[in-house]
Amino acid sequence: MTSIVSVRDLRKAYSSGFEALKGVNLEIEEGEILALLGPNGAGKTTLISTICGITLPTSGTVAVGGHDTQSGYRGARDLIGLVPQEINLEPFETVMNSVRFSRGLFGKPRNDAYIEKILKQLSLFDKKDSKIMALSGGMKRRVLIAKALSHEPRVLFLDEPTAGVDVELRKDMWDVVADLKASGVTIILTTHYIEEAEAIADRVGVISKGEILLIQDKAELMSQMGKKQLVVDLQDVITDVPAKLKSYDLEVGENGMSLIYTYDTKGERTGITTLLNDLQKAGLQMTDMKTQQSSLEDIFVGLVKETA
């Protein structure tokens, strides 16, 4: 895979002196969905704005499809579609005209058939002649996506696309993202909903205080950092881990009615078989058992706390 977006040592300091980006390096591969996770004020939007040309970097370079975003800005921006975080739309214009305007701005000849196709895909077609001010918040967000897609971009940036959006629309958006990926569009989305990254991303980057803490394949990340727990429910109450079982990483659960065993899913032996044997030998009666895996959220919270 070749990288379509290449960010090198990108720094951005605002005139107030605030350093929003502190030397970001990032390679985004063609056709992937990359989720950038981070708390508010981590620098997610600044990173996207700088790649898209809305903010000028203090130092460092960005290349999109091989075009430097400053010296070859036309080539770079031709490839990019941007869905901003805020709902920024001309309220008095109609949906159709607004999307048409976006396409024209990117120098593409008028193509109403294509725009109508996008509007249908986003369930906006019956609103095409409505003024934007008459639309609901979710509809407006769809208009933003339609505008970003109007010029057939190769790379789509979605800055918190589902912030403040209801569950149904969020699922719709995930479907749209999946369709776009299928058509070969590279997608970068920022979010602070971990479930979103978990649901749709191929790779996950964690950004905090202007630095990328980690960027990794989602499945790999979860298996590498994911701890799994086996909870064994007991018939009788115990107050402490029996002496025979001290060699295991065990905790007594709530009410003393269970034992919790934490193990590494990546380890060669999980030790479950021997543990269960030893539990029996220790004379403990088991009533039930279940396993639970840490989510991306736990990983994320752990990472951000570590660096805080």
Partner 1 sequence: MNFTAVASIYRFEMARFFRTVTQSIVSPVLSTSLYFVVFGTAIGSRIQEVEGVSYGAFIVPGLIMLSVMTQATSNASFGIYFPKFIGTIYELLSAPVNFLEITLGYVGAAATKALFIGVIILLTSFFFVDISIAHPFWMMGFLVLTCVSFALLGFIIGIWAGNFEQLQLIPLLIITPLVFLGGSFYSVTMLPPVWQTITMFNPVVYLISGFRWAFLDTADVPVGLSLLAIALFTGACVAAIWWIFRTGWRIRE
- Can residue 26 be called a binding residue for partner 1 (CB under 8 A)? no
Task: Report the alpha-carbon distance of residue 32 to residue 217 in Å, rounded.
Answer: 10
Tell me 106's DSSP state: T
| Contact with partner 1 (CB under 8 A) among 36, 47, 63, 80 | 80
Q: Least CB distance from residue 52 to partner 1, whole Å?
A: 4
Q: Nearer Cβ to partner 1, position 56 or 237? A: 56
- Can residue 114 be called a binding residue for partner 1 (CB under 8 A)? no
- Can residue 101 be called a binding residue for partner 1 (CB under 8 A)? yes
DSSP 289-306: EEEEE--HHHHHHHHHHH
- Can residue 54 be called a binding residue for partner 1 (CB under 8 A)? yes
User: What three-state secondary structure class fits 225?
Assistant: helix
- Can residue 107 be called a binding residue for partner 1 (CB under 8 A)? yes
- Can residue 58 be called a binding residue for partner 1 (CB under 8 A)? no
| Contact with partner 1 (CB under 8 A) among 1, 17, 40, 92 | 92
Q: Which of 113, 98, 53 is nearest to 78 (CA)?
A: 53
- Can residue 111 be called a binding residue for partner 1 (CB under 8 A)? no
Q: Nearer Cβ to partner 1, position 89 or 232? A: 89
Q: Least CB distance from residue 80 to partner 1, whole Å?
A: 7
- Can residue 90 be called a binding residue for partner 1 (CB under 8 A)? yes
- Can residue 133 be called a binding residue for partner 1 (CB under 8 A)? no
Cβ 152 vs Cβ 106: under 8 Å: no
- Can residue 77 be called a binding residue for partner 1 (CB under 8 A)? yes
- Can residue 106 be called a binding residue for partner 1 (CB under 8 A)? yes
Size of the residue set binding partner 1 (CB under 8 A): 36
> Cα torsion at 188, 192, 198, 204 (round to 10°)?
50
Handedness of CA 140, 146, 149, 155 (dihedral sign): positive
* CA 107 to centroid of chain Cα atoms: 30
- Can residue 154 be called a binding residue for partner 1 (CB under 8 A)? no
Q: Output the six-digit token pair for 261.
A: 């065993």
Q: Nearer Cβ to partner 1, position 122 or 230? A: 122
Task: Report the alpha-carbon distance of residue 238 to residue 62 in Å, rounded.
Answer: 60
- Can residue 88 be called a binding residue for partner 1 (CB under 8 A)? yes
| Contact with partner 1 (CB under 8 A) among 41, 71, 105, 282 | 105
Task: Report the alpha-carbon distance of residue 161 to residue 188 in Å, rounded.
Answer: 11
| Contact with partner 1 (CB under 8 A) among 73, 120, 134, 281 | 73
- Can residue 102 be called a binding residue for partner 1 (CB under 8 A)? yes
- Can residue 265 be called a binding residue for partner 1 (CB under 8 A)? no
Cβ 226 vs Cβ 293: under 8 Å: yes
Q: Nearer Cβ to partner 1, position 150 or 208? A: 150
Q: How many CB atoms lie within 10 A of CB 252?
A: 16
Q: Least CB distance from residue 251 to partner 1, whole Å?
A: 51
DSSP 119-179: HHHTT-GGGTTSBGGGS-HHHHHHHHHHHHHTT--SEEEEESTTTT--HHHHHHHHHHHHH
**Residues within window 164-223 making contact with partner 1, judged by CB under 8 A:** none
Cβ 47 vs Cβ 202: under 8 Å: no
Chain residues that interact with partner 1, rule: CB under 8 A: 14-15, 49, 52-56, 73-78, 80, 82, 84, 86, 88-93, 97, 100-109, 147
